[in-house]
Chains A and B, each alone.
Chain A
């Protein structure tokens, strides 16, 4: 490899917002990562769901998409059922899914094709890196179509098959997410249940699970009985390895996660009756004091420490504006990626928090006592807020958020504690230019002493 002589002379400069050293301003910044963002993906990855209806495919698709986006892999899920609902405005009954129904078959194939086209557009035009293709994909034929589509375009393919025969689990799934779907909006419960069961039967006869012999060259994970067992075949790369790890850690046992900032006074959860609550704090004194006041055992995580503001630690907004006005403006321009000089960015925080999220997925009832920026990162993960909104999520002091996974999302309840507290939330100001005047910069600073 020829070595460029000019490299010796070239000085590095540090980009003002991200604080990354680069050989020249504007050069390719893709080759950097925090602790966990995978390498710049050369080939996009298609994650293809496989399984009979009501096996949790959409649940997994949405959750996985949320996780991948949060760790910084632009991901989108494509649910073929939604394409079908677009094409066929009114759902009549299960006969639509009868394999003998030729006209319906045509429509269903067209929907799958349309979805594939959108996947291609997402990768080529929207810089997507992963796409979750959410459909039953229960026949070898359908999977072959997808594989060849992907091969032509240089996409990697990773299958996620969900296999479950426990009638109780299936019935519960149907209740939780199918009865409320647009397909059954005008039906009564019993009628809907019956129809959906017959819908499942339509798929059963032609269902060919991924074959461990015939498909041994493919990359896939089979999930049995909601995670009781997994079969993993040919993990190709880092992102697939992360996906497998994530899928093996999530569960569907009902539980709640409580998020709270450190409090000036006592947190009182006694009215709650929470089963086997675990309590986590950071290593910083104020969260530990809050936990101590609860009088229960707790675990300390350094990863839950507040964002490191570097040279701006302990400065007020006014002081930052006076001494580092350019930094202050840059932060308003891109609060997610902005890194404090000698400190961290929200993006760095997310990477630091990833093991916490992974463990939260494994756990059941947990109370996390942390700090404003950390709280925002965790909340954004659970309620699926994108990077642009994350740093502006509201999480005042003396409020506990109770997050309860439900259906495809997360129910959020707040508990206010009737204590006056200092508001520390600062909205993004109108003028984020580095040449703005101080009044414009300090416009949205909350009142304080």
Chain B
């Protein structure tokens, strides 16, 4: 007989009572349908954008709540062979190097195994050239032994200007070439590419690879060949890859001008601009003009203060309901103090776990991510866009662009009257913060020091929990530790758990995966 339902105090989700086995416990948001785990395998000659796509895809998947990590075999190689000398290392007849490279791939696969089996990972991106059938066969074998799904992403491009541009952007400055000048680096890298070309066997959808699941990205997204989509997540990955582009552009994020509700420290509501807010709108109009952009799209939410701000610009703009501020439910239009007074427990719970916390009859940051996802998808398609939104929504968007985790998202600083200009560069995003010099109240509340932390670090399967794309943690053996007698085998497989089963208990992710990504270039 079904037990009583209880409502989780933070997420406001209904679950069977605690004493029942957690058989039907589900996390908030939308189901993700990602069992069994998937290994995404990149394929392609060097400088074809594999690492670019790996990192971007990983950032997206983590943001929508799927624990994902990149395993870049080049990094393993740099660990194993401390000093890169020249392209000779990549010559197919360089036996010693071939052995090392093989070991590095195996080491990376070992880490993939451990990430997916023991660390709660759901998707691993295996970033290497994987240009031979032999290598791909080994990976397929690895997948089948462990019950992992395998999905290939091949990048094919023969346009010399695109290749040269890629090399300039990310290769000449990479650790391999730290002691070289640009011209020498470029030359060496091109020779490196040649080393791969002779043995390159592209995926063959007609014969050899017709039963595999893959997408071929041709000429930086001009054309795609998609073969045998197996499931929901592969379908989403494909949709994402089809929407991204590499045209230079900038995304401007800002909040509406200061509103009368802001002045009174009220949550939510739908009030108009204060006099200073109007000043900001005028300043924003000036700022936009200064930027002298060819084509700028302007997006606003459907709330009054946001629209007033957009109106002042004198440009066409679109209203998105999805950009509306987080719904504070029963706490709408209360001041923080009123909320503390009327709903002291709610107030405390929010500080305990701000990402998961859902206002009674309202939303959580977790809900926001889901709501805002179509905006992200369209932002990826666009070129120059100015998004005028609200504090929580802006934090959500910013976390996506800067690869911030669920822990950090609700505490990102998004002050009023400040524009953040995001420009994609290399593998990340440059951020410029431009204050328009109009005074405003500060609506930011830092994470309270004295609050007991809730179960924020628990990552449940199928939950929407953005994680910062983890730093690679190469605990690789050095070259001298490697077995010299022969190639070491991967550990024998464990029988794979099957399908999406409700009996999975929450899995705790090892601490390092939640660590903040501190590089200045995000």
Contacts and interface: CB of A to CB of B under 8 A. Distances in A.
A281 to B, nearest CB: 9
Contacts of B16: 292
B5 A362 contact: no
A430 interface: no
Contacts of B321: 32-35, 348, 351
Interface stretch (B92-100, B367-375, B401-409): B367-375
Interface string A136-149: 00000000000000
B511 interface: no
B317 interface: yes
A355 interface: yes
Contacts of B315: 1
Nearest to A293: B2
B308 A12 contact: yes
A271 interface: no
Interface stretch (B55-63, B299-307, B446-454): B299-307
B444 interface: no
Interface stretch (A117-125, A184-192, A244-252): A244-252
Nearest to B278: A8
B223 A233 contact: yes
Given A21-B307, A33-B320, A248-B229, A8 B312 contact: yes
A241 B379 CA distance: 13
- Chain B's interface size range is 35 or more
Contacts of A313: 361
Contact of B304 (A21, A31, A230, A248): A21
- Chain A interface SS verdict (over half): mixed
Interface string A23-46: 100000001111110010000000
B436 interface: no
Nearest to A232: B224
Given A241-B381, A244-B242, A300-B13, A12 B311 contact: yes
Given A8-B278, A31-B317, A33-B318, A234 B222 contact: yes
Nearest to A359: B232
A303 interface: yes
Given A12-B307, A248-B238, A299-B26, A228 B228 contact: yes
B335 interface: no
B127 to A, nearest CB: 24
Contacts of B278: 8
Contacts of A11: 272
Contacts of B157: none
Interface in B5-22: 5, 7, 12-14, 16
Nearest to A266: B2
A238 B381 contact: yes
Nearest to B306: A21
Interface in A277-299: 280, 283-285, 288-289, 292-293, 295, 297-299
A1 B308 contact: no
Interface in A219-239: 227-235, 237-238
B14 A285 contact: yes
A20 interface: yes
Given A2-B314, A235-B242, A292-B5, A300 B26 contact: yes
Interface in A180-235: 212, 216, 227-235
Interface stretch (B28-36, B42-50, B131-139, B480-488): B28-36
Interface string A350-386: 0100010001001000000000000000000000000
Nearest to B308: A12
A301 B14 CA distance: 12
A190 to B, nearest CB: 35
B235 A230 contact: no
B282 interface: yes
Contacts of B224: 230-233
A342 B322 CA distance: 14
Given A23-B311, A248-B235, A295-B2, A31 B318 contact: yes
B175 to A, nearest CB: 36
B492 interface: no
Contacts of A231: 223-226
Contacts of A245: 235, 239, 242
A285 B2 CA distance: 13
B289 to A, nearest CB: 7
Contacts of B479: none
A357 to B, nearest CB: 13
B415 interface: no
B441 interface: no
B202 to A, nearest CB: 15
Contacts of B440: none
Nearest to B378: A238
A300 B28 CA distance: 7
B23 interface: yes
Interface in B182-228: 205, 222-228
Nearest to B29: A302
B316 interface: yes
Contacts of B225: 229-232
B370 A302 contact: yes
A230 B225 CA distance: 6
B311 A7 contact: yes
A3 interface: yes
Given A302-B370, A359-B232, A3 B272 contact: no
Contacts of B455: none
A297 B502 contact: yes
B223 A7 contact: no
Contacts of B7: 285
A360 to B, nearest CB: 11
A238 B30 CA distance: 24
Contacts of B381: 237-238, 241
Contacts of A238: 378, 381
Nearest to B268: A342
A10 interface: yes
B337 interface: no
Given A12-B272, A229-B225, A288-B5, A32 B318 contact: yes
B437 interface: no
B510 interface: no
B227 A228 contact: yes
A359 to B, nearest CB: 7
A230 B322 CA distance: 31
Contacts of A270: none
A426 to B, nearest CB: 24
Contact of A32 (B289, B302, B308): B302
Interface hub of B317, B332, B374 (most chain A Cβ within 10 A):
B374
Contact of A31 (B223, B316, B322): B316
Interface hub of A1, A21, A35 (most chain B Cβ within 10 A):
A21
Contacts of A348: 321
Nearest to A28: B316
Contacts of B30: 301-303, 355
Given A1-B314, A20-B302, A302-B30, A8 B282 contact: yes
A351 B373 CA distance: 12
A253 interface: no
Interface of B: 2-3, 5, 7, 12-14, 16, 23-24, 26, 28-31, 33, 205, 222-229, 231-232, 235, 238-239, 242-243, 270, 272, 278, 282, 285, 289, 302-304, 307-308, 311-322, 332, 361, 367, 370-371, 374-375, 378, 381, 501-502
9 contacts: A21-B308, A33-B319, A238-B378, A241-B242, A289-B2, A302-B367, A303-B30, A351-B322, A362-B232
Given A10-B311, A234-B222, 13 more contacts: A12-B307, A21-B303, A31-B316, A32-B321, A228-B227, A230-B226, A245-B239, A248-B235, A288-B5, A289-B2, A297-B501, A297-B502, A302-B28
The 3 lowest CB-CB distance pairs between A and B, nearest first, are A32-B319, A299-B31, A292-B2
Interface of A: 1-4, 7-8, 10-12, 14, 20-21, 23, 31-36, 39, 212, 216, 227-235, 237-238, 241, 244-245, 248-249, 280, 283-285, 288-289, 292-293, 295, 297-303, 313, 342, 348, 351, 355, 359, 362
